[in-house]
């Protein structure tokens, strides 16, 4: 399970609820993959990798707000260690995501439901944002 990724998302949500402009994390490849997906879907403003010292890197995430409301305030984590929810490609096609963004963990990494439709893959529903 992605327990570190879940802690990462909860920290992002809490920072968004506290209306912080940016937040720092220690470097992790899975965090970087997740940040790329969040950036592509428009849930964060930007992110960057900073070199703090020799072979020590930090991730800086700049949160996004719309009308003083954080884009990650309504984040809901679906998959847990005790329960996982999988969607096939046929199920993803039938989804109507006018107001929500669904992120899935697939064999191609973290993908939004729109990208899953494009690549014709299914996966485990990781979280969604209304």
* Beta-carbon count within 10 A of 100 CB: 13
What's the predicted TM-score (pTM) here? 0.85
What's the start-to-end Cα distance of the chain, in Å?
23
Average pLDDT over residues 107-123: 90
Decide which of 13 and 92 is more confident.
Answer: 13
Nearest to residue 72, comparing CAs of 20, 124, 4?
20
The pLDDT tens digits of the residues spanning 21-80 come to 999 999 989 899 999 999 999 999 999 999 988 889 999 999 999 998 999 999 998 877
Instruction: With cut-offs at 50, 70 and 90, classify the pLDDT of residue 101.
Output: confident
- Asked whether the predicted pLDDT for residue 92 surpasses 90, the reply is no
User: Given the structure tokens 């490609």, which residue do they identify?
Assistant: 89
Instruction: With cut-offs at 50, 70 and 90, classify the pLDDT of residue 100.
Output: confident
The tokens describing 45, both together, are: 């403003």
Which domains, and CATH codes, for the chain? 3-129 (3.30.1490.10)
């Amino acid at each position: 399970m992605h327990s570190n990724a879940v802690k990462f998302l909860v920290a992002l949500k809490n920072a968004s609820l506290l209306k912080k402009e940016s937040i720092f994390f220690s470097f992790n490849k899975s965090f970087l993959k997740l940040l790329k997906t969040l950036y592509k879907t428009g849930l964060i403003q930007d992110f960057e990798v900073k070199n703090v010292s020799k072979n020590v890197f930090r991730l800086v995430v700049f949160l996004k707000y719309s009308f003083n409301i954080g884009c990650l305030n309504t984040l809901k984590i679906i998959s847990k260690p005790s329960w996982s929810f999988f969607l096939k490609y046929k199920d993803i096609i039938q989804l109507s995501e006018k107001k929500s963004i669904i992120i899935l963990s697939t064999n191609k990494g973290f993908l939004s439901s729109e990208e899953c439709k494009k690549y014709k893959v299914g996966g485990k529903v990781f979280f969604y944002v209304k």
